[in-house]
Structure 1
Amino acid sequence: MPKLRLPLFLTRLSIFYFLLPWQVMRFTRPESAEGIAKKYYHVSALPESVGLVIGVFWILLLLAFLVGFKKRISYGLVFLLHAGAIIVALPAYIWGLGNFNQLFLAAIPAAAAMGLLYVLRDEDTLLSLK
């Protein structure tokens, strides 16, 4: 489906750009990443080295995702890890609860786009590795 090539590429590019700052933060402001882990994921202490390892993993995953490398794995992991993060921090997404954060709501359509991109991964061929 040639008409899907550009929209799928733009979706992949926008998801990459959406997720990248969270991982860059692990290197530039590790204390902020640790604070998020404590507040939303109930991790009492996240050693900086663990945060950096997670950041390296995510950066490599996002680069694989960006270039369309091993789509079943890279697209699937991006979607599953992001959806898992939503589930773990669910109170932040529910209006009326103490932890509600309206900015987090952007993660929901992003997750839907990730799922759609996973389903249509064989059609996503523009600037994508085979």
Structure 2
Amino acid sequence: MTSLRIPLFLTRLSIVGFLLPWQIMRFTKPESIAGIAKKYYNISSVPEIASTITGVLMMSLLLAFLVGFKKRISYGLVMVLHGIGTLMTLPNLIPGLEGYNQLFLAAVPTFFAMLLLYCLRDQDTFFSLNK
């Protein structure tokens, strides 16, 4: 299983790279987060402070995920939250539907990479706090 250490770490690193811009946007463009919440999650109003608070919480979770801290919780939460977000954008994932956008398809293999990482979390020990 030692041959899995580096690929699992690189998978973890790439997931962080995929999610990080969205979290940074919570701080740099909170109005964009409000627009996304309205369009994709049917949340009519998101105060700027809510964007900042969720940004702090999500960045903390992403940091825990990055360093392999409490893997069952951090890997699981990242996967579940991403999975919920992906399901909420389902019309954007299905070709032929009005909202279809090919860029949204990147969320699907990302989810399955998260699932794989969660299943193999005990073997993911490279640059990990919880070995």
Tell me if both proteins adopt one fold, taking TM over 0.5 as the criterion. yes
* Structure 1 position 9 matched with structure 2 position 9: yes
CA offset at residue 42 of structure 1?
Answer: 1.0
Residue by residue over 1:12-45, the C-alpha shift from the partner in whole angstroms, topping out at 9 and shown as x without a partner, is 0000010000010010011111111111111111
**Contact preservation (8 Å) 1:40, 1:92:** no
Post-superposition, which runs of at least 4 consecutive aligned residues in structure 1 deviate over 4 A?
A: none
Which residue is 1:89 aligned to? Answer: 89
**Contact preservation (8 Å) 1:4, 1:123:** yes
For 2:75 and 2:87, the matched residues in 1 are separated by: 18
For 1:104 and 1:51, the matched residues in 2 are separated by: 22
Which residue is 1:53 aligned to? Answer: 53
For 2:119 and 2:39, the matched residues in 1 are separated by: 33
Under a length normalisation based on structure 1, what TM-score does the superposition of the two structures give?
0.97
CA offset at residue 77 of structure 1?
Answer: 0.2
Structure 2 unpaired stretches of 5+: none
Residue by residue over 1:79-115, the C-alpha shift from the partner in whole angstroms, topping out at 9 and shown as x without a partner, is 0000011111211111111221211100000000000
Work out the percentage of aligned pairs sharing the same amino acid.
63
Which residue is 2:25 aligned to? Answer: 25
Which letter does structure 2 place at the counterpart of 1:36? Answer: I
Which letter does structure 2 place at the counterpart of 1:118? Answer: Y
Structure 1 unpaired stretches of 5+: none
Give SS of 2:4's match.
helix
Which letter does structure 1 place at the counterpart of 2:45? Answer: A
